[in-house]
Amino acid sequence: MTLDEAFVRALVEDYEHAPLSEQDRVMLDYVGVVTKDATRVTPAHHKRLREAGFDDRGILQITLIASWFNYINRVADALGVGRGPAEP
């Protein structure tokens, strides 16, 4: 968590150019693939995560958290959470 608004803005706008550690960048690259099309994840992605310092437990946690957020956002979207009243 951070109170650095400029850092948060950089993450939201384009994390690839945000001031991140290499480990964080590798993690976010992986999460992007999981989010866009998890069927495109290959052993090379896991190898890169390991090279960045993540062990199997860390990779599992990253995958579970990213997947859960993807799931819950789709549920919220489908139910109209955050939108105005539904039309009859």
Domain ranges of the chain: 20-77
Q: What's the confidence (pLDDT) of residue 54?
A: 98
Ranges of the chain whose pLDDT falls below 50: none
DSSP secondary structure string for all residues of 35-61 = HHHGGG--HHHHHHHHHTT--HHHHHH
Q: What's the confidence (pLDDT) of residue 45?
A: 98
Q: What's the confidence (pLDDT) of residue 17?
A: 79
Q: What's the confidence (pLDDT) of residue 14?
A: 80
Cβ contacts of 65 within 8 Å, gap of 6 or more: none
Nearest C-alpha neighbor of 45 from the set 59, 35, 58, 57: 59
